[in-house]
Structure 1
């Protein structure tokens, strides 16, 4: 029997076809409605096993509790990564033919919601083994092609790339569906929901969303833009072709990048970079504390944290690679200049969120 570590690259030509499909787009763009309809159609027409993992169904209560409990800017990102670990547990069980084991470290409420999600879609069975945190897969999950549809906004490419990395790790199929719905339409639909998001939250996300760019990013070549939920016959054929292509052409598993490891080692040994990293982290944490004191809405706190952490990452990348996106004013970088300019860019971001509260 294969262990979890052995499963890396263990999939053979005759093994079960497995794939991950990422849905991305603004809130109220129609992703969840589309996902449910697509699941039903693929089950009937293709005979596949299909699971829809809606992030809003698994993570919302956990997030709201955490964001009001303490000012951790990276908490939402950590929860997303934790959910990917749950998906990995399930995929490992499918690949190895074993029972699914719960991860040793988990957020219990989120894990239970994830388990319920899989049970409701006939992918794992209820059994007495749950007392030992072991879960039996159903015949449906292991006897036919399996597609997991991940339903979230995924508005940054980096969010989608994390899913791609999981697919690459286990040689799975991977594809993306981008919902090209106008901001005005999303705002109107959101307003009709029983529990609508703040309109400003959707507007902020609309200004930040990064559409799939296959010409720039080779890993995004299996992408399709969905213009209408009606899904005309031509679009339906394109979608089926995309999903078939993804399942039948899994990403090649690659070994750990030795060159990247060496780059990371050099980066860690650079004192200026280390100091900058520590200082920028403190600035971001302090800013998030101020945002909470200003009573910025919880969902906007999440967006602000992502904006600030993205800015921090871009500054650090400038220091690592010399890309000169921000630090183009001098040949040699002084830490005080980095911090000063970071404050300037950070304040521009913060104004978008704080000003809306008054």
Structure 2
């Protein structure tokens, strides 16, 4: 059956089609398999250019096991934001049809992995034109519809909203695929992996995961839930329709009264900052009391207090500078929820130390 896309053709002189597709779901839900198969299918059957960005391959291991492995939670959050900056570098090159240069203040290993990922999928080519390495966008990424598939758990709406903001900034298509997989199946698959996540990690994420909710969030209206395991031959029509809809209806960048918006933001941020400071102080105090009740060793208590206060200071500083945005506005409950999630990862480490003694 011929669709509008078939009749239009991959190399149409029509409007530019460029979009971001977010995959989300529990670990071992089948996201990476879907991303790989979907990318192959779109290239073969539709002639599209596709870039699959697997966060597991491009970022340090996430600190989800509560045993101190991997980077601290806050560092992991910063790594996610850094990867989005790399993605923006590529998007700017595609949109403006210019070369892609390495951003300043980058993590060299992450940047090299990102560049290799794009090269391997024929999206960029090296250009030895200057002392600093630069990269040219490949012709296929410019002349054809281009979909970038972001493969990660994306279990918080705030994580996905950051990608949506990027789509809005450059007037790109945006859509979400949620892989709905039973917890028991994820646990079973996880046990068969070369690198096994602790079962508690998957249980914890299952409790925290925020599914796309188009009825509550207008920005999530281009979302599709698919059952895992996914048989692409059965789901392809729905998935392609979702991608086409998002490509042909890019997110509109709305010009706003920036001066009034900034004034409102400052007033709102000041109020939220003051309340957040008081609330986070209280949570730290209650957490330390709980740790003492659990008879955590004095030396560990000191380290725990230092980590919690550092986390509090970093989050408050981000809030003060307007870097934290969970939805269209930043709400106190969002800040507290984010702090508590990061705090739980820290606390679990010290409590598990205590149980080992």
Q: TM-score range by the shorter chain?
A: 0.7 to 0.9
Q: Deviations over 1:155-207 (max 9, x none)?
A: 00000000000000000000000010011111110111111111111111111
Report deviation, 1:40: 0.4
CA separation of 1:39/1:219 partners in 2, compared to 1, >3 Å: closer, same or farther?
same
Question: Is 1:210 matched up with 2:213?
Answer: no
Distance in structure 2 (CA, Å) of the matches to 1:325 and 1:40: 41
**Residue 7 of structure 2: aligned partner:** none
The equivalent residue for 1:41 is 41
Structure 2 unmatched ranges of 5 or more: 1-12, 301-306
Partner of 2:111: 111
Is the CA contact 2:68–2:349 (under 8 Å) kept in the aligned structure 1? no
Instruction: Out of 275-284 and 177-186, give the one that drifted further.
Output: 275-284
Identify if the C-alpha distance between structure 1 residues 90 and 345 changes in structure 2 by more than 3 Å, giving closer, same or farther: closer
Q: Say if 2:182 is the partner of 1:220.
A: no
Q: Which moved more, 1:37-46 or 1:74-83?
A: 74-83
Task: Give the superposition deviation at 1:354.
Answer: 5.5
Quickly say closer, same or farther: Cα 1:262–1:189, change in 2 above 3 A. same
Whole-angstrom CA distance in 1 between matches of 2:96 and 2:343: 50
Counterpart CA distance in 1 for 2:347 and 2:227 is 33
Residue 116 of structure 2 aligns to a residue whose secondary structure is helix
Q: Could you state the TM-score of these two structures normalised by the residue count of structure 1?
A: 0.74
Residues 1:63 and 1:71: Cα distance change in structure 2 (over 3 Å): closer
2:86 corresponds in structure 1 to 86
- After superposition, the CA RMSD in angstroms is 4.3
CA 1:260 to 1:206, structure 2 compared with 1: closer, same or farther past 3 Å? farther
Q: CA separation in 1, counterparts of 2:147 and 2:38?
A: 11
Quote how far apart the aligned CAs of 1:236 are.
Answer: 1.8
Q: Indicate the SS of the match to 1:19.
A: strand
CA distance in 2, matches of 1:343, 1:75: 14
Contact 1:24-1:177 within 8 A present in 2 as well = yes
CA drift at 1:228 = 2.8
Stretch moving more, 15-24 or 129-138: 129-138
CA shift, 1:254, in A, is 1.9
Q: What is the DSSP-based 3-state SS (H/G/I as helix, E as strand, rest coil) of the residue aligned with 1:245?
A: helix
Provide the rounded CA distance (Å) in 2 between the counterparts of 1:24 and 1:145: 22
> In 2 relative to 1, CA 185–131 (structure 1 residues): closer, same or farther, beyond 3 Å?
farther
TM-score with structure 2 length normalisation?
0.74
The CA deviation at 1:28 is 0.5
Over 3 Å counting, the alpha-carbon distance change for 1:205 and 1:223 in structure 2 is same
After TM superposition, give the deviation of residue 287 of structure 1 in Å. 7.3
